[in-house]
Amino acid sequence: MQTRIRVSHWLSRRNDQSTKEPEQEPLLQPAERMPPADRLNQSLIKVILKSDCFSEGGYQNKPGRRSFKRTLDRSPRENVKRSKLDIGSRLKESDIGITEYIGKHLGFSAIIKERYNDFHVNEIDLDGQVAKLIHQDIPRNPCDDESIEDLKILVSPTIWDQLQALGKENPSSVEIDVTNIDKVERRTIHTIAKKLANVVSQTVDKGDKKFLTIVSNTKNDTNGPKIRKDKRIDWSRCGGDYCHFLLHKVNMDTISVVNQLAVSLRLQPNNFCYAGTKDRRAWTTQWISLRKVEPHNILRAGKSIRGAYVGNFKYAKDSLKLGMLSGNQFRIALRNACETDEKIEQAMKSLQNNGFINYYGLQRFGSVPTIPTHEIGKCLLQGKWHEAIELILKPRPEKDNELAEVRRIYAESKDARAAYDKLKRIDTIEARLLKGLQILGDKNPLGVLDSIPRNIRLMYIHAYQSFVWNHIVSKRIKQFGTEVVVGDLIYDKQNCKETINSEKEDLSNYTLADVVMPQPGWKVTYPPYAKAWYDEFLAKDGLTTDLRQNNKKYSLSGAYRNILEIPTNLSWKIMHYENKHDDLILSDIDEMRKHTSPQDKPNGKNKALIIEMCLKSSSYATMALREILKNDTSAETQAALSAAHDVDNIKSNVTTIDECSSKDLEIEKDTEKNFDKCQEEDVDVKTNEIMKINDIENISETCQIIK
């Protein structure tokens, strides 16, 4: 549009030669004088110059109207300061003992979780089946599939004859003596009656006897007895009391979704059972179980939550329990992979053959460096109950303004009631603690801590265990490398126990993947060379390897964890893409809706590495990615990489625009010359015409004189 205005100004200058226009600066400026934002706005200029903007029918300035002039920042590019990207202070890997690598390959730069759609996690159950949302159908009640003939043999002939009378009279009513009939047969009678006719049934007491009253449920039955229709499900015939279903979600953690489902279904969150929690910043799929809740109600509740989907309903006899999974399947896209295909292949081969150090990832420790979860766990293990409560409620940088205000109020006033009254959500850890403080006060800190769910309290103390384990394993790798040494603990798969490797002759029989390292506790065995490391590390925090307390809730028996983890079913491919927001992996819900799978774009300017692998339930995929990239996986580092990638894209766009601007400037100058040439030619034509007219006038005067 701006070029149109400029050209129309030149056209108006032709029409009015008497008006001298002030000299104006060219519309397109040299690249070095133009700030990046203005350069991007110039990207349409080339298209406009090729359009019909030179036609007489284009935009015309009105007579006397000042021509449009764009105001641009004249400051040089190098002096324009970009605002610093504020990504906050986050935990780094080195803060929690993650320092070593296994592979000898060279790492490369790539961005982890630039988008939620780059990270997909599907639970693997104990039978090895991957949890994948494929439908949202409501399962048929098995009772509906039973024929009347199959049920006939379950009741006596007398009762069968009485049931046959149903529906023959209108209204029909039957009373059956069930005094000496067990509960199973009574349930069968109910089922047969419902299959024979539209009836309702009810067991009533008459003296010393019990009668099953069955009446028609027709609308014109106004005189018969009023019996409420029994809508209950016979769960024993469905296959069990529990409904298992898949939860497929994004941008929410498991606990948050469960809380919302509980509100919609009018249940308590502890009615929901699942094998483990899943990350927020990913597409995740996991199994959940509920007791005696019908699938259609769960489906209705799921539809009310944005970013959550439920499906694959089935009935089961048992509930899910924590830890009832064998692992997780991961589908991951690493964007902006800045390395040759050959070196990427080397890194992936190293992961496939050597695995990665089985560190506990950053997710285990929270995102706030000043108040990581293991610090709260340390206070609990030390018996510092008041300090643990203060750490949980301590102010911290966070997006939730309401929660930040609540923390501030409590920190300044220590008034739990005033802080609690500011909360809108009462299902958070902070709300439970503040409520506990209101009821129990400061004199019973253990009781206040008990108001937090048990799994959250265990998460804090297990985070401290993980903190110790990471540091000890890093020290072991740094000192002994990847070789198996005398004193290492070897996991005996046949006997399912740990043994100390004390013979040099046995070293060749094992690899580092067979070696385990204990998490501290009173029940584990420590490698002889590492016992002093544990003692020294724990002594700094006033603790011992026993980790036993008078309060058994906060005692730790310990456990064992493999030093290395080797992914199974590992595969990978290179994919090129054009735009930053292109989807590279389909989620379960997209596949269920038959969306087209993302395809490689060979001419795309960006490259991504697509990885698919399976890991055990306690392993972190980010630690596998760290081994591939040889780079920090913290949010701070990834945000910096993403920002750098954005800057590179802007620079490449600016370079292209500079080239276009240079060409457009030449076009503009040529256009000005053409207009000036046309004006000069017009002046010459007019001069010749005037000269001809003057000659004619002179001839006429001469003729008059002669006459």
Task: Catalogue the active-site residues.
Answer: 279
Among 614, 607, 584, 608, CA closest to 597: 584
**Residue 530 and residue 533: Cα distance in Å, rounded?**
5
Q: What span, in angstroms and rounded, lies between the C-alpha atoms of 485 and 517?
A: 13
Helix (H, G, I), strand (E, B) or coil at 287: strand
Neighbours of 327 (CB within 10 A): 21
Taking the C-alpha atoms of residue 40 and residue 656, their distance in angstroms, rounded to an integer, is: 10
Q: Which long-range contacts (CB under 8 A, 24 or more apart) does 69-75 make?
A: 69/24, 69/25, 70/2, 70/27, 72/29, 72/33, 72/34, 72/35, 72/38, 73/34, 73/35, 73/38, 74/33, 75/35
Cα separation, 623 vs 609, in Å, equals 16
Give the burial class of 429: count Cβ atoms within 10 A of its Cβ; 0-12 exposed, 13-18 middle, 19 or more buried.
Answer: middle
The H-or-E segment that residue 216 falls in is strand 209-216
Q: Residue written as tokens 């293990």?
A: 381
Q: Collapsing DSSP states into helix, strand and coil, what is residue 422?
A: coil
Tokens of residue 364, six digits: 């285990």
What residue has token string 């050959």? 342
DSSP 3-state assignment of 269? helix
118 to each of 103, 336, 343, 363, how far by Cα in Å? 24, 12, 22, 17
Using CA atoms, how far apart are residues 539 and 145, in angstroms rounded to an integer? 66
- The type of residue at 122 is N
Reading the block at residue 25, the tokens are 């600066």
Q: Using CA atoms, how far apart are residues 628 and 642, in angstroms rounded to an integer?
A: 18
Alpha-carbon distance of 210 to 205, in angstroms, equals: 5
Task: Give per-residue burial for 176-192: e unless 16+ CB within 10 Å, then b.
Answer: bebeebeeeebebbbbb
Sign of CA dihedral 79, 84, 85, 90: positive
Strands (E), 221-353: 242-250, 273-274, 283-291, 308-316, 327-338
Q: Which amino acid type is present at position 399?
A: K
Tell me the C-alpha to C-alpha distance, in Å, between residue 458 and each of 208, 239, 284, 590.
55, 34, 23, 36
Distance of alpha carbon 515 from the chain centroid: 33
List % helix, strand, coil for the chain (3-state, nearest 5).
45, 15, 40
Distance CA 110, CA 548 (A): 44
Residue 59 half-sphere exposure, CB side, CA atoms within 13 Å?
15
What lies within 8 Å, CB to CB, of 367 at 6+ separation is 90, 91, 635
Is the C-alpha dihedral spanning 309, 312, 318, 320 positive or negative?
negative
